[in-house]
Structure 1
Amino acid sequence: GGSSKISAGEKHSMRMTAVLTARADGTKLPIMFIMKGQPGGRIETNEVPTFPEGHFYAVHEKAWMDARVWKQFLRSVLHDDIEECSVILVDNFEAHVSEESTKIVQEELGSHLCAMPPNATSVCQPLDVGVMAPFKRHLRELWLYEEMIDSDDDDPDSLTAKQKRLAMIKRAIAAWDLVTPEIVRSSFEKALACGPTTGE
């Protein structure tokens, strides 16, 4: 998997993280969006139920991945998509490789957690190697297109924070849809050629 910070202008309240996940065969999994807000607060209670179906949503005070959100990711995004014993490749982020995380992957997902060597994500993390760049390019192209359309409006700044969050989510979903399975497969081939990873 990989994550991309998404922000609208300079407003920190609009920050969110899009966690992208893919398989070596080119299959792209649903996105997990981590919204900036108070867990159990207004965004989670009122807005999340209105967000596009088919993807997953979490709320964090800083829109970051932490141990709580990571467990939610494992039990939602990965749980229904793992059909047989698999290797889940992760970076060395503490929450990803914790004893609890390893136990969930083994006992609930029937798979193995494999951590990459420190400071190796740029060459061994498949999404970093060849997926994040085209995803971000598509994201920017879609944003520029929307800006061009919005320039015809009297006041594009009149959108509410809720509307902007929804627009950011839809834009990220569209950008992810534009990343082809061929790009994903190629990224895995390049990344896995960098050498074996160290398992936990």
Structure 2
Amino acid sequence: MSKRKRVVLPLNDKVKIIKSIKNGESGSKLAQIYGVGTSTISDIKKNSDAIMKFTCALEKEDGSSQRKVMKKSQNEILENAVYTWFLQKRACGQPISGPLLCEKALDFNQKLGGDNSFKASCGWLARFKSRHGIRELEIQGKKLSANVASANSFVDELKEFLDEKEYDFDFVYNADETGLNWKALPSRSLASHRENAAPGHKVSKDRVTVMVCANANGTHRLPLLLIGKSKNPRCFKNVKIPLTYANQKKAWMNTDIFLTWYENTFIPEVKKFQKDVGKEGDVLLLLDNAPTHPSAETLNRENGKFTVKFLPPNVTSILQPMDQSIIETLKRLYRKQLLRRLLTTKDSEIETTLKFFKETNLKDCCYMLILTDEEIIEDLNNNEREDEEDTETGEVCQVPSHAEAFEALDIDFKWFERQDVSDPIQLLQLKRIRDLAAMKRNDSLRQRPITSYFQPKF
């Protein structure tokens, strides 16, 4: 006789079994219906009071009846804090992504003096969503087709070309453009199981084009090229932005913009890099065959020292180096910075998202595009080490409030970005400190004590 497969029933089935038992159904019949042993039915009957109490509590807090066990979170206070925050944001229509939820969990854990080993991992997120019946809505996407045969042929051709010319990979570059809806919030959000849809604001269609360029070894990343619609954006007035800006009426790339970038940014930046590393050699730039790119004959310069080679049609998804997760990562990091900026908007504002759209400008887009958190932190740590020797213990001074700190930092930022000596990394450091002050200011504005939200539900 074959061994019966172990079946773990969800709580809603257990509730049905308890009700059926009360109505006089036999345990053997119920065991046959649900594909379990009679001992399982007996256990459910014995624990009926605990099961019903736990299920009722789940319904009150909008939890998932598809759960199969009654195990609670190891840290109920943190669990209740994150879930309360999640419900508040969803009630306002704010989209919540998994990474954003994890980051808020880390933030709450720090404020509550929680375990330093807590990482808000993917496993924690999956269990949290399962416990509360949270799922994702509005999944969208599309696939790209690629000419595999043409791609394979080009790979062999390029390898032969590189070997023949003896190119140094430090001087083999690739550039590619991508569209960026720079104000668009996520089109999908985590939602409780009782939400049939995730209503939100009208999708922002503010779009720019970003061109990314770097060498094959990853040792040289050129300044980003940002293409917007406005010739002279008001937010750029008297401000030193940390990238190259161009304009076109539809914010698209065209031949003139590319040629200007090639002559005034690409060639000078590569020559500067060669001087810095103390090496010389021919330079190769790989491009896709978009009609907005000038011909190879137009771009080849300095007696072949700067050469351009085009990829075949329909091979971007498998051959374009920048399309192998680099541009995707750039957009993900940008979206992360955008959502962090949304978190710094005052919770006391009724129309938080609309206020966010109004206050975010193209200058903010520039800052959010250029550096990752790790690069900013690394540079901050380096500066901190340099200043350690000069640090001395002095008299304790009165600590400014979070609101006062934010106002002062905001003034400092507006002043420093207009100075000729300002540096992109320094600007970003100052911006992140200002944003931190904004978040702490918002937390202090909440009149209700945060601990009042964390009372155990059962």
TM-score normalized by structure 2? 0.34
2:300 alignment partner, SS class: helix
Structure 2 residue aligned with 1:184: none
Moved more, 104-113 or 71-80: 104-113
Q: Superposition RMSD on alpha carbons, in Å?
A: 2.9
2: distance between equivalents of 1:163 and 1:171? 11
2:265 alignment partner, SS class: helix
Alignment match of 1:147 (pick from 321, 331, 342): 342
Residue type of the partner of 2:177?
S
2:269 alignment partner, SS class: coil
2: distance between equivalents of 1:163 and 1:51? 17
Structure 1 residue aligned with 2:239: 50
Give deviations 1:11-68, integer Å, cap 9, x for gaps: 44x321111111012021100110112x4xx42x873652424x21101101100011
How much has 1:89 moved relative to structure 2? 0.1
Structure 2 residue aligned with 1:122: 317
Unaligned runs of 5+ in 1: 179-200
Change (3 A) 1:141 1:11: closer
Is 2:208–2:227's contact at 8 Å kept on the other side of the alignment? Answer: yes
- Listed as ranges, the matches of 1:106-117 within 5 Å are 106-107=301-302, 110-117=305-312
Residue type of the partner of 1:168?
C
Is 1:18–1:172's contact at 8 Å kept on the other side of the alignment? Answer: no
Structure 1 residue aligned with 2:284: 87
How much has 1:165 moved relative to structure 2? 1.0
Which has the larger strand fraction? Answer: 1
Change (3 A) 1:115 1:36: same
Is 2:176–2:213's contact at 8 Å kept on the other side of the alignment? Answer: yes
Alignment match of 1:62 (pick from 234, 246, 250): 250
How much has 1:140 moved relative to structure 2? 1.6
- Listed as ranges, the matches of 1:28-43 within 5 Å are 28-37=221-230, 39=231, 42-43=232-233
1: distance between equivalents of 2:237 and 2:304? 26
Is 2:345–2:356's contact at 8 Å kept on the other side of the alignment? Answer: no
Structure 2 residue aligned with 1:78: 266
Structure 1 residue aligned with 2:79: none
2: distance between equivalents of 1:116 and 1:48? 39
Structure 1 residue aligned with 2:208: 16
How much has 1:97 moved relative to structure 2? 4.3
Is 1:48–1:57's contact at 8 Å kept on the other side of the alignment? Answer: no
Is 2:209–2:226's contact at 8 Å kept on the other side of the alignment? Answer: yes
2: distance between equivalents of 1:51 and 1:153? 33
The answer to whether the aligner puts 1:4 opposite 2:178 as a matched pair is: yes
2: distance between equivalents of 1:166 and 1:91? 29
How much has 1:108 moved relative to structure 2? 8.6
How much has 1:95 moved relative to structure 2? 2.9
How much has 1:133 moved relative to structure 2? 1.9
What is the aligned-residue identity percentage?
A: 21
1: distance between equivalents of 2:266 and 2:229? 22
Change (3 A) 1:161 1:19: farther
Greater relative contact order structure (CA < 8 Å, 6+ sep): 1
1:2 alignment partner, SS class: strand
2: distance between equivalents of 1:108 and 1:32? 26
Is 1:56–1:76's contact at 8 Å kept on the other side of the alignment? Answer: no
Change (3 A) 1:48 1:104: farther
- Listed as ranges, the matches of 1:162-173 within 5 Å are 163-173=360-370
2: distance between equivalents of 1:2 and 1:126? 9
1:80 alignment partner, SS class: helix
Structure 1 residue aligned with 2:371: 174
Change (3 A) 1:49 1:110: farther
Residue type of the partner of 1:25?
N
Is 2:342–2:356's contact at 8 Å kept on the other side of the alignment? Answer: no
Change (3 A) 1:176 1:20: farther
| Larger Rg computed on CA atoms | 2
Unaligned runs of 5+ in 2: 1-174, 185-202, 272-280, 376-458
